Amino acid sequence: MSPLRRVRDNFFLFGLGCLIWYVIRTGLKPSRAVYPCQQAAVFNANLWTMTYLSPVLAVIPVDRFRERWKTVLVVLLIGGGAYGYMRLNDGGIGEQDLTPVKLNIEPVEATESNPSVIYAVTGTNGNDDGVERLIRLMDEEGQPFYQSAEEDAAQGPLGFIGNNDVVIIKVNSQWDERGGTNTDLVKSIIKAIIDHPDGWKGEIVVADNGQAQYGGAGRGGSLDWGVSNAQDQTQSIQDVVDMYADYRVSTYLWDTITSNVVQEFAEGDDEDGYVVQTNIIPSTGTVVSYPKFTTPFGTQISFKYGVYKPEIEDYDVDRLKIISVPVLKTHMIYGVTGAVKHYMGVPSDKLSAGLGYRIHSAVGKGAMGTLMAQTRVPTLNIVDAIYVNALPKDGPKTPYSHATETNIIAASVDPVAIDYWASKNILCRIAAENGDNTSTMDPDNTSKGEFGDWLRLSLDELKAADYPFTVDLERIMVYVDSTN
């Protein structure tokens, strides 16, 4: 049994920790008191107070307490302040005692033709050379990151990102702490893009739809959380983007337009909002919707059709690239959030629900595969497994204390294969080592409604649209950089 699990099972320690955590975290920013994690902590703290503190105070003579209350208060404030200072400087309540887990990630040789390739990098915290190592690993195995007419290190005609592309970096924004995409990793990806060897002339938008509901504050997503997934926990996505504003980098929280129905640019509608397709996809019962919007730099983007060119009243389909960067974690309903479930941050859940076909309810039927096939499949998926939540059905919310540091990132064109591999080789292994039941995160569990079932249903939707993705081990190739 892990030390953290022992603390959870000892209510005296757990309740005291909740009390201290609540005071320090909320005291830094009182508005956080409404956060669900704060509400849970104060509930446990109240139980602890009634169980342990109230009986002690009840036996202290009133006169003596009146004489000594100031001394008691000063001692509590000094002790609590010292404790809080040490904990804050150690990197967060409940996190500093968690030992990183070093998983032995092995290369895998595919035995069948046309494999889906996964590139994995271990020993990276996102704020180092991990993305550089990832790009170098790709190049060593014949896949350039940069699209260019020149063939050189990490560049060539078959690269992913051209120097004049418009790139949407799709992140997890709905949850704070370790529930959102690592902002150090996003910073490294942005830097890699603008370091294009042909000179950067394009544009980057970091975006997500937290659906204006649920989430860390109960109001949907944020790209400016006060507590984020990074070495510097105050560093939000917005903070990162602000560092690169001179390079045409911006954010767009699609929550702000998720209830606004619009038409396409080519139909004469320049308003930001969601295009809702009128037909229902019968295989998954899905009504497809997607965002269209104008960036702060005046670029008009349709998630489905690409960059709109008003001078010709048409779209540049190929200029728009999607880099999907999900944080790897468990999910209370669907077992696992990875590259496939991550696409739930593209459509409008509210608009689809209003039509009687709520798309979140259709994830278990393969709806994310439908959505990708009907709109746009990511150019590249980069799975953020620097910190993961491997507690069965504990996510998507992931407080610092629920995360396991594994320091891994992995990339693939195939969102299904990378989900299969990452859940099997990261989440399941950590859960098994903790003595937890792995069935809800096991990609080979194909019982109806389980992760392995809806992952394959999503795959069916993509294969029907001629995407050669897979969950077959014989067709999954894994390259690993573990040099750090």
Residue with tokens 């990098």: 121
Q: Please state, in angstroms and as integers, the Cα–Cα distance from residue 25 to each residue in 46, 48, 91, 226, following that order.
A: 16, 18, 12, 10
Q: What is the rounded distance in angstroms from the CA atom of residue 447 to the CA atom of residue 468?
A: 24
Pick the closest to residue 402 from 379, 383, 380, 427 (CA basis).
Answer: 427
Pick the closest to residue 405 from 422, 430, 387 (CA basis).
Answer: 387
Cis geometry, peptide bond prior to residue 396 (ω within 30 degrees of 0):
yes
Q: What is the mean pLDDT of residues 284-307?
A: 99
Q: Band the pLDDT of 471: cuts 50, 70, 90.
A: very high
pLDDT of 422 higher than 70: yes
* CA–CA–CA angle 103, 109, 110 (5° rounding): 125
Query: Which two three-digit tokens encode residue 228?
Result: 């984020």
Task: State the burial class of residue 404 (Cβ atoms within 10 Å of its Cβ: 0-12, 13-18, 19+).
Answer: buried
% of the chain with per-residue pLDDT over 70: 80
Q: What is the rounded distance in angstroms from the CA atom of residue 253 to the CA atom of residue 377?
A: 20
**Better-scored residue on pLDDT, 7 or 104:** 104
Contact of 149 with 157, CB cutoff 8 Å: yes
Residue-wise pLDDT for 125-143, tens only, equals 999 999 999 999 999 999 9
Residues 6+ apart with CB under 8 A from 363: 333, 334, 341, 344, 454
Query: Which two three-digit tokens encode residue 273?
Result: 């909002």
Pick the closest to residue 110 from 472, 480, 444, 482 (CA basis).
Answer: 472
Q: Count Cβ atoms below 10 Å from residue 317 Cβ, excluding itself.
A: 12
Q: What is the mean pLDDT of residues 284-297?
A: 98
pLDDT of residue 42: 60
Residues 6+ apart with CB under 8 A from 142: none
pLDDT of residue 33: 53
Pick the closest to residue 323 from 403, 409, 392 (CA basis).
Answer: 409
Contact of 286 with 343, CB cutoff 8 Å: no
Residues 6+ apart with CB under 8 A from 448: none
Contact of 427 with 394, CB cutoff 8 Å: no
Q: What is the rounded distance in angstroms from the CA atom of residue 112 to the CA atom of residue 445?
A: 23
Residue-wise pLDDT for 296-349, tens only, equals 999 999 999 999 999 999 999 999 999 999 999 999 999 999 999 999 999 999
Pick the closest to residue 46 from 78, 72, 81, 11 (CA basis).
Answer: 11
Residue with tokens 């790139």: 167
Query: Count H helices, E strands: the chain?
Result: 13, 17
pLDDT of residue 303: 99
